[in-house]
């Protein structure tokens, strides 16, 4: 399916929606019925509504109906008010966005209108620092190179600026032509994928001929982005209102059910069944007593000809009396205290990151007690355990290792001399470092150059090349300029072969402006680049360098290039353009075409970048492991680097205390044998004190999850620690799902967009507000500034929230059952007739008073001292106790309190 957008043509604009944004859940007219429907979908609410309706039958009700209707209305009103307030805030936010003034082109002139009046096909003008009101295809900018810079933090959480370029068919159009431009854009139907936009544009004469020009996401300005460092930009509205990519991705996440909630639901069901049994027994006994004994009493008068439903009166009376077994206020009480748990996390100064001015935040207020029951933590590596502050440390160029002596290649005299002597291999290596990236150079008024990069690796490489005198000065559109030894070298960027998680490499095709030669520059993972070396090149030195750097915990990238003939490039460029113009399977077709160019590379060398551990990571992992929590590291990095980082952060232990088991293989048979061997070792040594862990890479994991899922599930149950290398975002989510299927409580923590699926899949998602942006933090249930804060989040807030919820839940059922049993005992001395011991006023006071006591006790209990954890190791084990508190703990204070209060209530009832 696709849509056709006619540019600046009002006759075709009525087929699509306007740009009015609506994120509200209710309207003024449907709020009451819709909210009531949602509330009465819960079994407990349906139950209490039934009880309240039965109390309206005067023949059977033993108490005033207000004793149930009053609390029921209050509870529903509180929930409805909260929903109404949240929806009203959404309405105010929508109204502000809809009434914002924007410029569009109408009848060849710019006109001011409200944002909600934008229609598909309108040409919209944006000024610097203004927000983009809808999804636009960029057609013009104030920059002569046809580029602009946008900030997408509100869309994807990434704080670095991104470059957007106008389509080649629009290059050269001046401001007057942009007011009168006509054409058609062929694009897919609205979707929520912010990474892809597979479309084509064709302008009508006299602007250009009818050639089709492909469009990608780099030719768009998406809603909620901000225009930066560009005076103005204009574009054609292709998606508006709730059909924008941001609008399509909005939505309420599925509610997560905590272990405590599941237990309460089961307990409620069990109590309900017990209640029915009590009602049947007492109701039957009451009818028998009435027919045998009550009719003999002179003060009781029964009609001889009773209606057929009279037999139901006494059972229904007992049903009403026993309805208090299930506490009517427990949901509101739990919602209130859970909101306070979340506030305790937000207010906690101990988990406030002063370095980045980032407080902790609880986005989900309903699952705090699950933090105290975590059994498996699945963590990303880069940016989560490490700082994600990349520093260029060492390199291997043409078989020569630099930086071994000093630990810093930038200070290696031998490398500096090679640069000064214009060593061809070194200059090529540094040129690839400077050009093969998506970095944007920013020149300040003082003349200094800084770089904006979407990847910290690229930022480290470009800065390292600059320190070695190969300076990327500018990158405007398709032109790039490098300064080297007072020489200015200009290149034309012909094509960019973008990085994907499947290809694991990035390449660009450039043309030297002086010589006219065409080159392919590539960088990527060693397993993606080294196999592409030209026949006869010796790569053993590079393989050894990769292993050596990985043993040091450094991140490695392989760099290569080759010269292209003009004929080869033109033929390939035609295929590349066709693939980029495809509206179906464009990504797959582009990858296939890229493989036809990326071959017989001249491998230039290996770069090694250091990513240091965050402060407190080893200590945090150590104490969490002592508490009985298992750790899995899921990373896209290579195996040796991941193992080294795992050793440094106490995730695994070295020999002889620990043992690492490897699951390797490229074929199904090899993987099966390796998996069986590891599984057998786990079974044999599981009873020994030795710490076992297994390592698996993404290739073997793909085979395992497809063919040997049951065996791997058994391995997951047996193992406490695992390292999964070279895994994709989807594989991370699959592993979380696998552990959830074993009924383990999982917590996933990460900092980047590639961790979002894992975070959303886990029972508890924790995002780190890191250098990769805020995507993970926004998708998570909890966000923190550093990994070390996870210790306090779990062992302090999780434990206290679990204790408090258990306390409140059991007390609610305890006091309800106690009151109910008093009613039942009273029935045996009142003729089993379903008579209430308490009057209506007492029951109303009971519902209000006994609800407020545990809530206030829970809220006022703020002793969140971390010393409680560090000085009492038994707390660590207690955090994993997946059960409610022992009822005997309530036999003390609450037992005595209930005894005295109930005595007063009973006296008041009899006196009344």
Closest CA to 636 of 402, 382, 454, 331: 382
Q: Is 751 annotated as a binding residue?
A: yes
Helical residues (DSSP H) of 204-325, grouped into ranges: 245-249, 259-292, 313-322
Q: Is 636 annotated as a binding residue?
A: yes
Q: At what angle do helices 43-54 and 259-292 cross, to 10 degrees?
A: 30
State CA 277 to chain mean position distance: 46
Round to whole Å and give the CA distance between 382 and 157.
17
Rounded to whole angstroms, the Cα distance separating 818 from 826 reads 12
Enclosing H/E stretch for 563? strand 555-564
DSSP state of 455: S
Known binding residue 755? Answer is: yes
Question: Which of the 8 DSSP states describes residue 253?
Answer: P
Encoding tokens for residue 686? 């599981």
Annotated binding-site residue? 381:
yes
Residue 368 in tokens: 């705090």
732 is in an annotated binding site: yes
Sheet (strand 199-203) strand order? 2-7, 183-188, 199-203, 213-215
Distance CA 7, CA 21 (A): 22
**Measured distance CA(729)–CA(755) in Å, rounded:** 6
Nearest CA to 469 among 513, 437, 434, 435?
434
Contacts of 522 (CB under 8 A, 6+ apart): 432, 436, 505, 506, 507, 529, 532, 559, 560, 561, 598, 601
Segment (H or E) for 200: strand 199-203
- Residue labelled with tokens 């009142």: 830
In our burial notation (b when 16+ CB lie closer than 10 A, e otherwise), range 657-684 reads: eebbbbbbbeeeeebbebbeebbeebee
Contact 808, 816 (CB under 8 A): no
Active site members: 380
Nearby residues of 843 by Cβ (< 8 Å), 6 or more positions away: 63, 67, 324, 836
Residue 701's contacts (CB-CB under 8 Å, 6 or more residues apart) are: 724, 727, 731, 735
625 annotated among ligand-binding-site residues: no
555 has binding-site annotation: yes
Looking from the CA of 575 toward its CB, the CA atoms found within 13 Å total: 15
Pairing of strands 658-663, 691-697: parallel
H or E segment to which residue 185 belongs? strand 183-188
Question: Do the annotations mark residue 612 as ligand-binding?
Answer: no
The reply to whether 265 sits in an annotated binding site is no
Does 587 belong to an annotated binding site? no
Angle at 216 between CA 210 and CA 220, to 5 degrees: 95
Check whether 382 is labelled as a binding-site residue: yes
Q: Is 106 annotated to bind ligand?
A: no
What dihedral angle (degrees, nearest 10) is formed by the CA atoms of 57, 60, 63, 67?
-50
Phi (first) and psi of residue 381, to 5 degrees: -105, -65
Token output for 77: 């009103």
Angle at 848 between CA 847 and CA 851, to 5 degrees: 80
* 635 appears as a binding residue in the annotation: yes
SS3 label, residue 698: helix
Token pair, residue 76, equals 């529903």
Helix (H) or strand (E) holding 394: strand 391-397
Binding residues: 380-382, 458, 499, 523, 555, 635-637, 726, 732, 751, 754-755
Binding residues for Mg(2+): 380, 382, 751, 755
Binding residues for ATP: 380-382, 458, 499, 523, 555, 635-637, 726, 732, 754-755
């Amino acid at each position: 399916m696709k849509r056709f957008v006619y540019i600046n043509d009002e006759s075709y604009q009525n087929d699509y929606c306007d740009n009015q944004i609506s994120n509200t859940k209710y309207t003024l007219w449907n709020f009451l019925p819709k909210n009531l429907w949602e509330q009465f979908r819960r079994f407990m609410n349906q139950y209490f509504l039934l009880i309240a309706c039965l109390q309206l039958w005067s023949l059977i009700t033993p108490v005033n109906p207000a004793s149930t209707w009053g609390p029921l209305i209050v509870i529903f009103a509180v929930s409805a008010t909260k929903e109404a307030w949240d929806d009203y805030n959404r309405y105010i936010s929508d109204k502000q966005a809809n009434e914002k003034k924007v410029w569009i082109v109408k009848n060849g002139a710019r006109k001011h209108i409200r944002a909600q009046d934008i229609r598909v096909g309108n040409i919209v003008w944006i000024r610097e620092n203004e927000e983009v009101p809808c999804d636009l295809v960029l057609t013009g900018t104030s920059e002569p190179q046809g580029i602009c810079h946008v900030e997408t933090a509100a869309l994807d959480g990434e704080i670095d600026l991104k470059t957007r370029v106008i389509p080649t068919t629009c290059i050269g159009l001046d401001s007057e032509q942009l007011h009168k431009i006509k054409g058609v854009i062929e694009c897919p139907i609205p979707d929520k994928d912010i990474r892809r936009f597979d479309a084509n544009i064709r302008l009508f004469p006299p602007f250009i001929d009818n050639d089709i020009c492909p469009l990608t996401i780099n030719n768009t300005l998406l809603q909620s982005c901000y225009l930066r460092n560009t005076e103005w930009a204009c574009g054609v509205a292709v998606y508006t209102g709730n059909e924008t990519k941001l609008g399509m991705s909005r939505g309420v996440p599925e509610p997560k059910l905590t272990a405590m909630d599941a237990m309460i639901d089961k307990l409620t069901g069990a109590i309900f069944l017990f209640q029915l049994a009590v009602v049947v027994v007492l109701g039957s006994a009451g009818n028998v007593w009435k027919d045998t004994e009550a009719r003999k009493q002179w003060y009781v008068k029964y009609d001889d000809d009773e209606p057929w439903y009279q037999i139901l009166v006494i059972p229904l009376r007992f049903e009403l009396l026993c309805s208090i077994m299930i506490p009517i206020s427990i949901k509101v009480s739990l919602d209130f205290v859970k909101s306070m748990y979340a506030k305790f996390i937000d207010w906690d100064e101990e988990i406030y990151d002063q370095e980045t001015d980032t407080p902790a935040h609880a986005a989900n207020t309903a699952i705090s007690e699950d933090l105290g029951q975590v059994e498996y933590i699945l963590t990303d590596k880069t940016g989560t355990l490490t700082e994600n502050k990349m520093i260029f440390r060492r390199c291997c160029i043409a078989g020569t290792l630099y930086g071994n002596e000093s630990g810093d290649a930038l200070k290696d005299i031998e490398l500096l001399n090679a640069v000064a002597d214009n060593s061809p291999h070194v200059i090529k290596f540094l040129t690839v470092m400077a050009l093969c990236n998506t970095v944007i150079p920013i020149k300040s008024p003082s003349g200094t150059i800084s770089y904006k990069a979407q990847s910290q690796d690229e930022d480290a490489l470009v800065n390292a090349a600059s320190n070695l005198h190969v300076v990327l000065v500018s990158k405007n559109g398709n032109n790039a300029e490098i300064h080297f030894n007072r020489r200015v070298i200009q290149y034309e960027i012909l094509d960019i072969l973008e990085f994907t998680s499947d290809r694991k490499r990035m390449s660009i095709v450039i043309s030297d402006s002086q010589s006219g030669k065409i080159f392919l520059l590539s960088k990527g993972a060693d397993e993606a680049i080294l196999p592409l070396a030209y026949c006869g090149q010796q790569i053993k030195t590079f393989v050894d360098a990769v292993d050596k750097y990985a043993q040091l915990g450094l991140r490695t990238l392989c760099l290569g290039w080759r010269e292209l003939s003009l004929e080869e490039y033109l033929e390939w460029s035609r295929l590349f353009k066709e693939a980029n113009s495809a509206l179906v399977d464009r990504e797959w077709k582009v990858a296939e075409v890229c493989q036809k160019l990326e071959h017989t590379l001249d491998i230039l060398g290996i770069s090694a970048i250091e990513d240091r551990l965050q402060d407190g990571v080893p200590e945090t992992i150590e104490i969490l492991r002592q508490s009985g929590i298992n750790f899995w590291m899921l990373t896209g990095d290579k195996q040796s680097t991941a193992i080294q980082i795992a050793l440094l952060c106490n995730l695994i232990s070295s020999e002889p205390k620990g043992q690492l088991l490897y699951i390797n293989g490229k074929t199904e048979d090899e993987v099966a044998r390796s998996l069986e061997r590891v599984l057998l070792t786990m079974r044999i040594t599981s009873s020994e004190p030795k710490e076992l862990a297994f390592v698996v890479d993404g290739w073997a994991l793909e085979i395992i999850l497809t063919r040997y899922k049951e065996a791997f599930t058994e391995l997951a149950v047996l193992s406490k620690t695992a390292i999964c290398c070279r895994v994709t975002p989807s594989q991370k989510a699959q592993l979380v799902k696998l552990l959830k299927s074993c009924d383990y409580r999982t917590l996933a923590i990460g900092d980047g967009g590639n961790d979002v699926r894992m975070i959303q899949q886990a029972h508890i998602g924790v995002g780190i507000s890191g250098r990769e942006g805020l995507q993970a933090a926004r998708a998570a249930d909890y966000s923190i500034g550093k990994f070390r804060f996870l210790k306090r989040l779990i062992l302090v807030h999780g434990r206290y929230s679990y204790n408090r919820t258990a306390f409140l839940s059991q007390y609610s059922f305890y006091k309800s059952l106690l009151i109910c049993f008093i009613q039942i005992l009273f029935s045996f001395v009142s003729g089993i007739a379903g008579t209430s011991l308490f009057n209506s006023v007492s029951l109303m006071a009971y519902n209000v008073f006994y609800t407020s006591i545990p809530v206030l006790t829970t809220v006022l209990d703020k002793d969140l001292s971390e010393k409680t954890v560090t000085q009492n190791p038994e707390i660590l084990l207690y955090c994993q106790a997946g059960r409610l508190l022992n009822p005997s703990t309530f036999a003390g204070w609450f037992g005595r309190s209930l005894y005295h209060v109930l005595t007063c209530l009973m006296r008041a009832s009899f006196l009344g």
